[in-house]
Structure 1
Amino acid sequence: MIEHFWLIMLGLSLLAGILSGIPVMLVLAGVPVVLAYIASGFGAFDLSFLRAYPQRAYGVMTNSLLVAVPLFVLMGVMLERSRVAERMLMQVGRVLGGTPRALALAVLLISTLIAASTGIIGATIVMLTLISLPAMRRVGVPDATASGLICASGTLGQIIPPSIVLILLGDQVSNAYLDAQQRAGNFAPDAVTVGDLFAGALVPGLLLVLLYGIYVSFRLSGIKGAPMVETEPDVSPWDVVREVLPPVLLILAVLGSILAGVATPTEAAAIGVAGTLLITAARVSATGGPDVDPDAPPQREPSTPPAPRWLRHVMSATAAVGFALVALRLTGVGRVDLSAAQVSLGAGSLLALLLTVLLVAGLLLAVVILVRAGVFGAALSQAVTTSAMIFGIILAASMLSLVFRGFEGDEWVHELLTGLPGDHTSMLIFTLLVIFAMGFVLEFVEIVFIVVPLVGPILLQDVDPVWFAVLVALNLQTSFLTPPFGFALFYYRSAAPADIATSTIYKAIVPFVLIQILTLGIVFLWPTLATWLPNVLFG
C-alpha cells in the first residue's frame, strides 16, 4: 500500500476537488500538476513526464474525428432552439394522447427520435418537462412514472447514434485497441471506427427503448385517466407527417451515410448541420421565429414577423438538391476523372458542380433566415460554449492520464486487473463496476478519457472492442440518472413544478436505472447484439 501512496493521494485530491464545487476541468488539470510538483520534491515523480503534454494537446486539436463533436452539438442546439423537436412531440402527443398509456408511449417514441436528432440531454429533458409533463399529469399519469420516463427518455441520446458519447468512445477505444493488439504481437489490426460503434449501439439502444416501453405499458395498464383536453383543432395525419418526416429524413441522412460507408462521422455531422439549417429555416420561414407557436410558454420573447412563404419552398428545393448530390455520390456519376494528365469534367461532374453551387446558395439563404429570426447566433454561442467545455475536459483528462502514468499508475492497473481471479471476463466486470461507481460523481467525458486509456490496452487484447464500447456506453448512460450528481435529475428538477418533491424524482428513476442495468446484462451475456450489425455492414 505504501508504494501506491501518491496514487492514493491523487485519487483523494481529485475527489475532494470535485466535491468542493470547483469546475471539473480545473480539478482534472490542476490537481495532478500540483501533486506532481509536490511529489517531485520527494523524488517520487519525474517532471520530464510533463514535457509530453504539449504533444498530447496538439494531438487532440488535430484529431479530425473530434471535429464531429461541435458539429453534432450545433445540430442539436439548433433543433432545440427552433422548436422543431418540440412541435414534433406536441403533434404526435395530440394524436396518440387519448389515454395515459398512449401519451406516455408517444413521449417515449418522440424522445427516441429526438435522441437521434439532437443528443443534447439538458435541452431535451427541459423541453420534455415543459411540454409533455403537464399533458401527462392532466390525463392521469402518476408523477413518479412521468418523472422517471422524462429523465430516462432524455438520456437516450447517449446510446442511440449518432451520439457524442460514441464519438468520444470511438476515438479512445480505437487508440486503446491498437495499443492492446501491438502488445499482443499483432502489428496490423483491423481499425475500429466510430461507424462500427454506431452500428453496434443501434440494436442495444432500440432494445433499451423497447424495455422502457414494456415497463411503461405495464405500469399504466390499469389507469383509465381523464380525457385529454385539446387546445387546438383536430390534428390531421398530414400535420403529423409534416412535423415528423423532416427530422426522420435528417436521421436517415446522417446515420445512413455513415453506415452505408458514404461519409465519415465528421462528414456525416456536416451533412446533419446542413440538413438542420434547412429544416429550421423552413420552420422559421413559416412561423417567423422559434416563439410564434401559440403553445409557447409566456416567458418567451416575441419573435420576428414570418418570412415570405416562398422561402419554405426554396428550403425544400435545396434539400432535394442535397439528396440529388448524395444519389450522384452513391452511383459515382458525379466523380471527376483524374486518371489522365488533365482534369476531365463529364456531364455528371458538371451536374454535380451545378447542384453544389445551388446547395451552397440555399444554405447561405438558410443562415440569413435564421440570423434574422435570432436563432443562429444564439445556437452558435451555446454550441461553442458546450464544445469548449467538452474539449477543455478532454485536455484536462489528458494531463491527468499523463501524471497517472508518471506515478506508474498504468502498471498498478495492469497488476490489479491481471491479479483478479478468472479470465478477461472478471476484468471486464470489474471495469464496468468501477465505471458505474464513477458515474455517481463524474460526467461521461471525464470517465471516458480517464478509464478507457488505462484499462483498454489490457482488456482489448481479448475483448471485442465494439462490444466493450457498447457496454461502456450503456454503463455511462446510467451516470446521468444516478444521484447525487445525475445531471438528468438536475435538469428535470429545474423545470419541474415545485409540488413534485425531489424524493419523488429520485424514487422515480430507480425502475429505469434497473432497466438500464438489465439491458447492460443482456448485452453482456449476448455480445452478438452489439457485434452482429457491424459485421453485416462492415464485415
Structure 2
Amino acid sequence: MELFFLALLVVIMAGALGSGYPVAFALPGAAIITIVLAGLSGYLFTGSADAFFHSGGPQQWLSAGTLNLRGVYWEVERDTLIAIPLFIFMGIMLQRSKIAEDLLVTMAKLFGPVPGGLGISVVFVGALLAATTGIVGATVVAMGLISLPAMLRNNYSPSLATGTIAASGTLGQIIPPSIVLIILADQLASATDQAGTARKALHKSSTGELSMPSSFDVASTSAGEMFLGAFVPGILLVLLYMAYILIYALINPKAAPAVHAKGESTFDRKFWGQVFLTLVPPLTLIFLVLGSIITGVATVNQAGAIGAAGALIMAGYRLYEGNKKLTYVPALLALASLGVMAFLIKNFDMNLKSASSAEDWMGITVGVIAASVLMFSLIWSGWRVLRIERTMHGVMLETAKTTSLVFIILLGAAMLTAAFRAFGGEELVREFLNGLPGGFWTQFVIVMAVIFILGFFLDFIEIAVVVVPIVAPILLMDPSANITAVWLGVMIGLNIQTSFLTPPFGFALFYLRGVAPSSVKTTQMYKGVIAFITLQLLALGIVGAYPPLVNYLPNRVSLLSETAPPPVNPKLQYCIEEYTGTQLASGADPKRAIDRIRALDISTLPKDLQKDLTKGYDNADKALENLAIAFESEQKVIAASDEYRPLQRTVRKIEKDVRKLEEEADELKKFFTRLNSEETAARRARLEAEREELLVEAKHLLETIPENWDEAHKTFAELTTAEQKARQMYRRQVDGAWEAPSVVLAVLADNEAFNALEGELTQMRGYIETVAEGDESAEDTLKALEAKFGAVEGAGDVKKALGKARRALKPKKFDREKALKEFDKSTAEFAEQKAWRAEAAGLAPDLQAYLEDIRGTLGIRSQRRLDRDQALYMASCNAKHRDISLNF
C-alpha cells in the first residue's frame, strides 16, 4: 500500500501541474492530500492510521513538513537564501533602467563586422547580463526586443537568431551570481550531512571499525563555493556558443552575415567613449559582487547587497534626463566615498572598541563622513529612480513577486519531500539506483537523464528542491567516485539550464515567443535551440570528465585565503605527502640537513633537550623511510586492486542485498507486532511467514559469497593497512622532526628575556626574608614573578620552584623557612640555566637553518599555513576525485 500512495502522490502532483494549477499550491497540496488519505485508509481498513506509512504516522509527517517549512526561514545554516531577493532586485533594476539595452546595442556595433558578429555580441552581452542579473526572463525579453529585429534585418537565419538569444538568456542560471546556484547550495548542504552519515554506516558495516577516518568524510558546500565552481564551466559554455556561431557563419555566411559599419566615423573617439561608459559600470559591478565573494571580503548575502546598491546607483544616472552636469554626480560621490573607506580600512584601525589614539578617532570620523556620503548617493539615486516613470515601484513589485514565487515553491517542495519520504520513496529511489549495474557512473547518468527529461516539464526551482534532496545523498555517499558537493551542484546546474530551452515547456522559448515577430515560426525557434542544447550537453560531458574545471577554483581561493585550513587538516594529508614526494624527487634533500644537524655538538644543552633533539633527528630519518614505504605500499595496493576490486564489488553487493532483506524483515516485525487482535491473527501469521522467508533468503545469499573472499580480503586489507600505517607513522614522525628543534630554538630565542629577570629574582629573596607573616600580598608578589618566568620559553623549572615558594607563603600555611629553601632552588636552577643558555646560544643559527631546509618537505604539516606554491599544488591535487572504495 505504501507504493500505492507513493504513486498517488506523484499522480496528484503531475495532474495538478499538467492542468495549469499553480506550482506553489500543487506541491504542498499533493503532499497534504496524500498523507491525509493514507492516514484515513489505514484507520478504516486496519484500525491504525500509521499502517500505510513507511514509518511513523500522518501526524509525524505533517509536522515534519511543517518543520521543513520552518527550517527555510529559521535555520541559521540556510541564511544564504536571503541573497535571493537582493540578486533579483539587482537584475530587474538593471533591466528596467535600460542598461541591458545599452549593452546589446553597443556590443552589436562593436562585433558587427565579424562573421556572425551580431550573434557573438548577443552571447557576450548574455554572459555580462548573467553575471549582473541572473534573471532569465528579463534577459531573454530584453535581448529579444532589441537584438532579434536587428538580426533579422541583417538576414540572419531565424533559427540561429532565436536559438542564440534563447540560449544566451539562460546563461544566468550557471554564471554566478545565480539564484539556482544559491538554491542548489542550500539543498546540498543538508544532502552532504545525510551522505556523510550513510558513508560512516557503510564504513562501519564493511570494516567493522567504529569510526571512519575524517579524510573520508563528505565535504559540504556553500553558495560562495558554488559561485566559484560554476565560473569556469560558465565561461566554457560561453566560448562554446561563440565558437559555434563563428564556425556556423564561416561555413554558411548567408545565415549569419557580417554587418559592416556605415561610414568611417562609426569607430571614432565618441564610439569608444560610449563603449567605455557602457561596459565599465557593469564590469565594475561584477568585480565588486563576485570579487568580494572570491576574496572573502563579503558573504553571499553581503555581496547581494553590494549588487543591489550598485544597480540602484547605475540606474540613477542612466534614467536621469535633467541637468547634464548632475547626471553622474551620485555615482561619482559613491565611488569617491568607497575609495576613501578602502583607504581608511587599509591604513587605520576602524574598530570603535579598540580606538585609543587621536589618529584612530580621526580615521573613524572620516569613515563616518564617507559612509554618510555613500548613503546620500544611494538615497539620491533611489529618489531619481522613484520619480522617473515610477521605475522603483515597478522594480520592487517585480522583486516581491519573483521572490515570493521562489520561496513559496521552496516551502511547497519541503512538504512534498516529507510526503515522498513518508511512503518510502527515498529508499525506493536509493534501492533502484544502488541496484543498477555499473556502480556510481550508471547511477549518475540515470539521474542526469531524469533531470534532463524533467526539464521538459518542470521549472528549475522545482527540479532543484524536489529531485536534489532525494538523489544527492545517494550520489555523494558513494566512495568509489568520492565526488565533491560543489561538482555535483554545478553538474546539476548545467543540466537544469537545459530546462529553459527544451520544448515544449522551455521558459526561454515562451519568453522569446512573446516578443518575437509573427514572421518567426515556433518550429524555427525549436529548431534553433537544438544546437545549443547539444552544446550544453557537450559542456556537461566536458565538466563531468574533468572535475578540476569545477573544483580547482574553490580549492585555490580557500587555500590562499586568510582563513585557509592549516596544513594539519586531514583532507590535505594525502596531497601534502604527494607534494613532499615530488619535492624529494626533484632534488630537495632533507637528509643532508639532518646529517648536518646531527654533527652539531649539543652537549651544552640539558640532557632532556639533548634527548628530544636526538629523537627529533631520528624521527626525521624514519619519516623519510616511512614515506618511501607508504609510496611503495600504495603501488602494491594499486597493483593488487585490479584483481581484488571485482571480487569486492560482488561481495559488497551481496552484503548490501542481505542488509536490505534484513531491514525488510525488521520492518515486518515492527508491523505485525502491532497486530494483537483476534481479527488480525491470520494476517499476523502471514507476515511472520514472510519474515522467515526473507531471513532464509538472506542466509542463502550469504552462502553465495565466494569461498576465497575471506583470504582475499585479509590479504588486501593487510596491504591497505600497511599503507595507512606508514602514512600515520610518517605524519607523527614529521611532527616530531619539526617540534624538537623548534622548541630548542624558541628556548634560545628567549635568552635575553630570561636574563632580564635576574635582578628581579635576586631582589625577591630579601622580600621573602622580611615579609610579615600573614601578609596576603606576599603570594601575589611571587605569583607575578612566577608569571613572568612562565612567559619565557624553557623556564618552567624556575617557575615551578617559585610556585612552591609562593605556596609556602600562604597566610594559613605560612612557612618562611620552606619558602626560602624553595626559592634558593629556583635561583640555583636560574644560574644553571643561565650558564647553559649562554653556551648553547651558538646553536641557534644551525637549528634555524635546519628548520628552513626541511620547511618545504618534512616541515609542511607544522606550518601555520601553506605557502603559495604549496597551496596551488594542493588545490590542483584535491580538485581530482579520488576513489576510496577499496577502504570500505
Q: Which whole-Å CA distance do the structure 2 matches of 1:191 and 1:504 have between them?
A: 43
Q: Deviations over 1:406-460 (max 9, x none)?
A: 1121221221221111222222222111111111111111111111111222221
Structure 1 portions without partners, runs of 5+? 289-305
Q: State the partner residue of 1:400.
A: 416
**2:485 maps to 1:456:** no
Counterpart residue identity of residue 268, structure 1:
A
Q: Alpha carbons of 1:466 and 1:369: their partners in 2 closer, same or farther (altered >3 Å)? A: same
Q: Deviations over 1:283-326 (max 9, x none)?
A: 122xx3xxxxxxxxxxxxxxxxx356324223222133234435
Secondary structure of the residue aligned to 1:236 is: helix
Q: State the partner residue of 2:17.
A: 18
Q: State the partner residue of 2:510.
A: 490
Q: Which whole-Å CA distance do the structure 1 matches of 2:64 and 2:35 have between them?
A: 14
Secondary structure of the residue aligned to 2:520 is: coil
Q: Which whole-Å CA distance do the structure 2 matches of 1:323 and 1:483 have between them?
A: 49
Report the structure number with the largest CA radius of gyration: 2
**2:218 maps to 1:218:** no
Moved more, 79-88 or 331-340: 331-340
Moved more, 75-84 or 101-110: 101-110
Counterpart residue identity of residue 39, structure 1:
A
**2:195 maps to 1:196:** no
Q: TM-score, normalised by structure 1?
A: 0.91
1:10 Cα deviation after fit: 1.4
Secondary structure of the residue aligned to 2:429 is: helix
Cα contact 1:489–1:505 (8 A) shared by 2: yes
Moved more, 478-487 or 312-321: 312-321
Aligned mate of 2:406, from 382, 387, 390: 390
Q: Which whole-Å CA distance do the structure 2 matches of 1:148 and 1:137 have between them?
A: 13
Q: State the partner residue of 2:39.
A: 40
Q: Deviations over 1:63-94 (max 9, x none)?
A: 42111000000000000001011111111212
Secondary structure of the residue aligned to 1:497 is: coil
Q: State the partner residue of 1:126.
A: 141
Matches within 5 A, 1:309-458: 309-326=325-342, 328-329=344-345, 331=346, 333=348, 335-336=350-351, 338=353, 346-373=361-388, 374-458=390-474
**2:275 maps to 1:255:** no
Q: Deviations over 1:163-206 (max 9, x none)?
A: 11111111111121122113323788654111111111011110
Matches within 5 A, 1:163-174: 163-174=178-189
Cα contact 2:127–2:168 (8 A) shared by 1: yes
Q: Alpha carbons of 1:354 and 1:132: their partners in 2 closer, same or farther (altered >3 Å)? A: same
Q: Which whole-Å CA distance do the structure 1 matches of 2:17 and 2:274 have between them?
A: 48
Q: Deviations over 1:198-253 (max 9, x none)?
A: 11101111001111111100111141647568699835101111111100100010
Q: State the partner residue of 2:302.
A: 267
Q: Which whole-Å CA distance do the structure 2 matches of 1:233 and 1:15 have between them?
A: 59
1:258 Cα deviation after fit: 0.3
Structure 2 portions without partners, runs of 5+? 43-51, 201-211, 560-888
Aligned mate of 2:551, from 512, 525, 531: 531
**2:127 maps to 1:98:** no
Matches within 5 A, 1:286-325: 288=321, 306=322, 309-325=325-341
Counterpart residue identity of residue 30, structure 1:
G
Secondary structure of the residue aligned to 2:328 is: helix
Counterpart residue identity of residue 33, structure 1:
I
Counterpart residue identity of residue 315, structure 2:
T
Q: Which whole-Å CA distance do the structure 2 matches of 1:456 and 1:324 have between them?
A: 46
Q: Which whole-Å CA distance do the structure 1 matches of 2:21 and 2:323 have between them?
A: 45
Q: Which whole-Å CA distance do the structure 2 matches of 1:499 and 1:193 have between them?
A: 46
Secondary structure of the residue aligned to 1:479 is: helix
Q: Which whole-Å CA distance do the structure 1 matches of 2:552 and 2:357 have between them?
A: 45
Secondary structure of the residue aligned to 2:116 is: helix
Cα contact 2:117–2:258 (8 A) shared by 1: no
Q: State the partner residue of 1:183.
A: 198
Cα contact 2:501–2:533 (8 A) shared by 1: yes
Q: Which whole-Å CA distance do the structure 2 matches of 1:66 and 1:230 have between them?
A: 49
Q: Alpha carbons of 1:226 and 1:431: their partners in 2 closer, same or farther (altered >3 Å)? A: closer
Q: State the partner residue of 1:480.
A: 500
Q: Alpha carbons of 1:327 and 1:209: their partners in 2 closer, same or farther (altered >3 Å)? A: farther
Q: Which whole-Å CA distance do the structure 1 matches of 2:307 and 2:34 have between them?
A: 43
Q: Alpha carbons of 1:178 and 1:328: their partners in 2 closer, same or farther (altered >3 Å)? A: farther
Moved more, 219-228 or 157-166: 219-228
Q: Which whole-Å CA distance do the structure 2 matches of 1:318 and 1:226 have between them?
A: 40
Q: Which whole-Å CA distance do the structure 1 matches of 2:341 and 2:10 have between them?
A: 52
1:489 Cα deviation after fit: 0.4
Query: Greater helix share, 1 or 2?
Result: 2
Q: State the partner residue of 1:75.
A: 90
1:3 Cα deviation after fit: 4.8
Aligned mate of 2:69, from 54, 57, 80: 57
Moved more, 376-385 or 352-361: 352-361
Cα contact 2:355–2:361 (8 A) shared by 1: no
Q: State the partner residue of 1:144.
A: 159
Cα contact 2:82–2:301 (8 A) shared by 1: yes
Q: Which whole-Å CA distance do the structure 1 matches of 2:397 and 2:421 have between them?
A: 36
Q: Which whole-Å CA distance do the structure 1 matches of 2:264 and 2:25 have between them?
A: 50
Q: Deviations over 1:253-305 (max 9, x none)?
A: 000000110111000000001111111101122xx3xxxxxxxxxxxxxxxxx
Cα contact 1:100–1:136 (8 A) shared by 2: no
Q: Which whole-Å CA distance do the structure 1 matches of 2:507 and 2:262 have between them?
A: 33
Q: State the partner residue of 1:87.
A: 102
1:340 Cα deviation after fit: 8.8
Q: State the partner residue of 1:471.
A: 491
Q: Which whole-Å CA distance do the structure 1 matches of 2:406 and 2:347 have between them?
A: 37
1:476 Cα deviation after fit: 0.3
Q: Which whole-Å CA distance do the structure 2 matches of 1:402 and 1:328 have between them?
A: 51
The two structures, once aligned, show a CA RMSD in angstroms of 2.3
Cα contact 1:466–1:531 (8 A) shared by 2: yes
Q: State the partner residue of 2:703.
A: none
Cα contact 2:159–2:528 (8 A) shared by 1: yes
Cα contact 1:278–1:319 (8 A) shared by 2: no
Sequence identity (%): 38
Q: State the partner residue of 1:300.
A: none
1:147 Cα deviation after fit: 0.7
Q: Which whole-Å CA distance do the structure 2 matches of 1:334 and 1:97 have between them?
A: 51
Q: Which whole-Å CA distance do the structure 1 matches of 2:16 and 2:323 have between them?
A: 51
1:532 Cα deviation after fit: 1.0
1:116 Cα deviation after fit: 0.6
Counterpart residue identity of residue 464, structure 1:
T
Moved more, 135-144 or 242-251: 135-144
Q: Number of residue pairs matched?
A: 518
